[in-house]
Structure 1
Amino acid sequence: MSKPSGKTIIAPSKSGSLGMGEHVDEDPEAALHAAILQAALDCIVIIDSDGVIVEFNEAAENTFGHRREDVLGQPMAELIIPEALRGAHDAGFEKYLSTGQHAVLGKRIEVPALHASGRELLVELAITPVHLTDQTYFTAYLRDITERKADEEELKRSRQRYRDLFERSGDAIFIHTLEGEIVDANKRAEELTGWDRKALIGTHLSRLHPESDQAKCKAAIEAVQSAGEARLEVRFIHRSGVQIPTEVNSRSVDTDDRTLVHGVVRDVSARAATVAELRTAKAEAERASAAKTEFLANMSHEMRTPLNGVIGPLGLIAREGLSENTAQMIDLAERSAESLLTLIDDVLDISHIESGQVDLVEEVYSPNDLLGQVREIFSNSAADKGIALDVASLPKDLRLLGDPGRVRQILFNLVGNAIKFTDQGGVVLEADLADENGSSIVRFHTIDTGIGIAEDVLPKLFSRFEQGLAAPSSVSEGVGLGLAITRELVELMGGKITAMSQLGAGSRFSVTLPANVQNSAQSNAGKTSQPLQHLHGRILLAEDSETNAAVVASMLAKLGLEPEIVCDGAAAVQAVESDAYDLIIMDVGMPVMDGLEASRLIRSTGHATPIIALTAHALPENREQTRAAGMNGFLTKPIRLKDLSRELEKWLPRAEAAHHAVLSAAHIDEQWNGDVAGHAFVLRIFVGELQKRLDRIAEHLQAGELAKLQHEAHAVKGGASNIGAEALAHAASALEQASLGSGPDGLIDRLVADVKQCSAAFVEAAEKSLAQSEGRGG
């Protein structure tokens, strides 16, 4: 390159440009500079002190969309500076011309620029002033960075998305070198270890694992180094010292300057606990299976012999001339023993069930008698637990052909299970006849308010030895064959069994059997119940169906009661506001206002009148709805006279019941066969313990311990019935029933007072009877 000539290369031309590219052949150096200007990859725009463009290279033409010849001599601000920035540009320009100072000169900045099409570009700008003689020029170097900035923003967003995923991951994530030094960790990693991110960075992974896992961790790092990935189960040590079992998946990732390892760590404490529980359960199941095998092997000799020793003598006793009551008790004991033997036989012969070798008998039987047996067998069990047992009835003259022993076994299994797993509320056994595809069927439903069954257990419920899966160990008794045998028996008889349940909300078991109906025996339908003269009071019946209202009114008439009838809930509320009633029988589903809403309104106004719900729905949740609305009793349609009588006895006030003897002399003759001395002996014992039980009843009432109160009332009822204290037995029975469920305020207090009053009268009569007995003995 030749030395500079000493002349100024940049000189204005006649056209207004600096002459770069014009007559360059006259000055080789100028030609060189012009060529460089045009060949530059960056935009070069030169303006004079008036802001007018004096040079515009080819890169600028391509970037801004203007031709050089069109922009020379034009104000730059109007061509490539967005309108919103022109004011700032002009102000800065003027400031420099007057003071020689400007914030952007000699710096690289990023600013918006305007394309000829009107769209904005993002450019990197550097401005350098050039001073010539009496003129100052400004050279602007511009580079279009629109795409680069877009890429940078996308990269920034991508990194942020990754960071968000990194931080929000449910698993702990450690990023470390191939040697194991941590370079980053997420929030979950902080929680897993108890150390914050700053403390973790720079720490070697080996410090986070127990000594026993170090070799495993080293092998995993070596696997990542050689294969690029590794998976292992290892324990992390929390800052507190607790060791946490984890599953780690590691993978190497190449970055710009080095290779790092991403380790995803999942806390498997819950899974480890589950595995341990399953192992324990498996071991327990194996032990149970072994115990079952031994149990079945020894059952025959150990239980058949003593049971036969019970059943045989019972049969002999039953043949002797006994009173009707004693004979009934022996029959009950004999049936119970035979049922127990049947159950044991089923357990012993489970292999016969598996091979289909169970023989079914065919004989005519009364299903209503079976229901009565269920009621007799299980009523005390339910009472002992403080729960209600409601067993339906079928027509007394209905006769079916089938195996009554197996049907009884099915019902006993279902009701027994329902009572076993129910601690509050009650158990209902429903029964009816129906038509299915032109054939008669008999249906039984057990409905309880017990602990319920988990959804995942239901499919296994009828499997053998699965009882423990459905209930806590505290109530899981027996060998777990009951429901399995029940299913087998139902299917052998051509029927089906289903179960519906919700954990914590009770269960419903339904059995459907073919009903081979036989010619009816002599019907007892002509017998009617005698009016319960000890019941009295004003009754309001709210029922929208004229037919149902007539049926209930007829039943009440048989009981010596006459109701006032209204046809909807609103009318019932109005009637209660305008008059006083001792009892309300309220249909749940009525127009205008239903029974639930009516009951809520009645309770909201302070009325404590007992309300008996009348409904066609019998599920536990239906009963709960009525209780929540303030209703006391519950009757399901179709209504039975005995069920209505029982509810009335619970809630209606009692008149003086002359037919309930304080101490029945006839009872001594009928039930004690005239054994005055024996009766006096038992009477003296009962009188001696009665006051203690009355004291405990008062204590339980004061403490609100209704279950204990019910137990004492049950004991008083039993003792009073045994020695002929009819009035006391009746009062204690009413107290026992009331303590099982919700009642109006003050009901139990009144019934306790009744028991005390009857007790006082009984003790007086008993002392006279004992004095007379001693006089006769002397």
Structure 2
Amino acid sequence: MTEDIHFHPTPDAGVGELSSVLQATLPLLSQLLEAVPARVVVIDVNERLVWANQEFFRFTRLHPKQVLSQPIARIIGDAAYASYDSVRPRLASGQTVAWEGWTALAGMGRRYMREHLVPVDVRDGVPQATVVMSLDLTELKRRDAELSAKVAELEASEALKSSIFDNAMAALVSTDETGHIVEFNPAAAAMFGIAREQALGRAVAEVMIPPQLRAAHDAGMARVTAGGEQRVMGRRVEMPALRADGSEFPVEMVLWRTAVGAQTYYTASLFDLSERQTAQGEIERQREALRQSEKLTAMGSLLAGVAHELNNPLSIVMGRASLLAEKMTGHALAADAQRIHEAAERCGRIVRTFLNMARSRPANRSEVALNDLATAAIDMLAYVLRSHGIAVTLDLLPGLPPVKADADQIGQIVLNLIVNAQQALGLRDHGRQLTVSTGLAPMTEGDRRRVPRVWLRVRDNGPGIAAELRERIFEPFFTTKSEGVGTGLGLAVSRGIARDHGGELTLQDDEGISAGACFCLQLPVSGEPEARDTEPVPLPDTDEQSARLLVVDDEPEIAELIGEMLAGAGYEVMTAESGAVALAMLAEARFDAIVSDLHMPDLDGAALWREVKRTQPALARRMLFVTGDTLSPTARQFLDEARCDRLNKPFAKAELLARVMALLQP
């Protein structure tokens, strides 16, 4: 705004009436206050703006016609107006008020203001007007805050650098351009065997460089100082160094230069290579042994692969030789067929030997105390549980019978259940509780199980497992944990181990417990599978001689061979070349049992079993899987899950018939 603003009160000006004294002084005050480098306004007794200097209009960018005679609350905004609530009573009593601070002005945002409010023209103890003088210190305040922040940042940076320097694992030594030590961190003191106070101010060559290298060091420093070639600057250099006791040791050094104002400093980062050089000799000694081990490993993998690939043709040779010998009974060539069968059977034994060599070590089963495993697991995880604020309760039945089991495998199950519970309890804010209990399963009169069973439960009061997920938590690679936590294999592997010991691992539904999860591990004392009292679906009675069998294999020769063997034993046999064809045949005809290959290209044996289990549960329990993939963890895991019998290739006719006969038993 460039025009001069002067106030001349008139009856129709729309402003509060002012005393004659104030009216007489305003022109003089106007001239005086226009020269003040601050915003000055006059507010009447009704809190309306009646006068303002040019600085006010420049600051607010408002025109006099917009604000004169307007309530001050409308001009500065409700938020700013409310901030004067504590000031008004003091002004009304005639007190001068000074304040400064942040306020929110309409159209101006947050501003830092310093104000003096002076009540004037007091009549009957009531000021008729208030003169307000304001200074906007926002930019000054912001620059002050920025400066303070930069100072704090600089101090933090210096503290960080000092902390890094003092706590670095590498020895850090700084010198001035004359080669005298100005910094010597604790790692350097430990490496060279000399205190920092003793090293500061001394020539670096005297403290840490062997005598035979000091001349070269001095020459190099002189060359660099004169602006010559920097041969070692910024490069990793291995060299001998000198300890305070006079002994030499190998170090790796990186040297760099830093300019601070007119001063130049050199800093060396040093690593002790003594252990590395000692280890290099051992590495060389072990390298040849490693080469031999790698050769053996590669050979073992090759043998295992070759053995697996031989299973199918060996099965055909053994089976066909057996059938040929039967057909030529009494003929001179029968003996030749028998020799072929015996040779193929010998090859089969060699293949099995290769496969057994490639397998991991068999389980070492002995009598194991389940209570001891539980106690050991809690002891092992005691710190983790305690640091996570988890209260642990052990409720172990005294005198619990020992279980014939692999202690490492069962211990793995217990550890996995406790770790899962600890991770689940991490989602609970407080009151975290974990209970591990053991007991002996009751045996009722007439119970078909002749071996007692023991159980172990791990219960937590965490968030629990949603109902829709309870059936899936034992599936491989399925996990309810966040990304990066767990693989989804723990429960699947644990259940497989339990079933391999004739037991079971389940998620229990505990009535009366509103939150948390309870996993129960049951094991027979014998460690072997046992007969069950009840089954989900009863097996139908089958006349063994009239049983109809379905053979499924994607290799026609294998399917034909198995079919002929079974047909020769009196069974009615149909074959399918794939899992998909088998499903179509199952939808059209009744079968009493299924003999299936495990690995097939379109629908494999595992997928076939799951579909049969969904549509014909009883038949799913009468499936025999023929496989040569005994090394595959996936195959073993599925077969443990399905609890179906298996027949490893190559196989003899008698072995096949015995498995099928057992399969058809009610």
TM range (shorter): 0.3 to 0.5
Higher relative contact order (CA 8 A, sep 6+): 2
Whichever of the two has the greater Rg, that structure is 1
Larger helix percent: 1
TM-score, scaled to structure 1? 0.32
